[in-house]
Amino acid sequence: MIVQACINGARPADFHPALPLDPEAMARDAAASIAAGAAELHVHARGADGRESLAPEGMDRTVAALRRACPGTLIGVSTGAWIESDELRTLVAISGWRELPDYASVNLSETAAPVVMESLRQRGIGIEAGLASIADAERLVGLDHGGRVLRVLIEISEQAIDQAFAVADGIEKVLERAGICRSILLHGENATVWPFVQRAAARKLSTRVGLEDGKELPDGSVADGNAALVEAAVRIYRGV
């Protein structure tokens, strides 16, 4: 049961003044997030132009900077299909990484998910299976990878909380019926960040917070940055 810090995601530069977009800024932010209580990191590497990128140049610099700033901390990255917008470019990028992350998230809603998962596995990189719908969960069950992933991300985009909880419950039921017993990291985004943190803490599941998922604290005020969001989540976990 951990709190993972998701420090930037696909957010644009104007989302928050403290959004870290280059390796040095990510390293500083990551160190502050770990000091605030985060156990692991999830980042979206960026190129020199500040845009998301899976290219080895940006990925290697990012992972190396994080390793220096946070020795011993598990580092995860995104492989979202929109980043390279081309399946072949995504696979070529992964094959060229020299500084390897500990794991990478793969969205099961994306067409190329199975081949991306296999590419990661061949490189010895763990897989977080991202499930945002019941259909995603059913797809994971149908793949050979289902029981071999590092963990399952139940990541809900619905903003109406009753609907969001219903989708999360449906995903868990699919996994339970299939006998997939992997650790679960449960999280929401924007309006549902804190309800899902509370839900995860109460059920002794992992969660994540950070500017990728939202910038507001539980009281509705805007956080100074990722460390403040992590600190608030850790406080919730300590209170249950």
As a whole number, mean pLDDT of residues 126-135 equals: 98
**Helix 87-96 crosses helix 56-69 at what angle (to 10 degrees)?**
50
Mean pLDDT value across residues 47-61: 96
Separation CA 67–CA 86 (nearest Å): 28
Q: For 98-124, what is each residue's pLDDT tens digit?
A: 999 999 999 999 999 999 999 999 999
Length of the chain: 240
Provide the 10 A C-beta neighbour count for residue 182: 17
Whether residue 240 has pLDDT greater than 90? no
Euclidean distance between the first and the last CA atom of the chain, given in angstroms as a whole number? 13
Tens-place pLDDT, residues 153-196: 999 999 999 999 999 999 999 999 999 989 999 999 999 999 99
Average pLDDT of the residues of the chain: 97
CATH code for the structural domain at 3-238: 3.20.20.70
pLDDT value at 2 more than 70: yes
Query: 72-101, pLDDT tens digit by residue?
Result: 999 999 999 999 999 999 999 999 999 999
Q: How does residue 144 score in pLDDT terms, banded at 50, 70 and 90?
A: confident
pLDDT at 146: 64
pTM of the model: 0.96
Q: Any idea where the domains of the chain sit in the sequence?
A: 3-238
User: Is the backbone of residue 72 left (phi > 0), alpha (psi -120 to 50) or beta?
Assistant: left
Rounded to 5 degrees, what angle do the CA atoms 187, 191, 192 make? 30
pLDDT for res 162: 98
Give the amino acid at 195.
P
CA atoms of 31 and 54, how far apart (whole Å):
22
pLDDT at 145: 61
User: Which residue type sits at 70?
Assistant: C
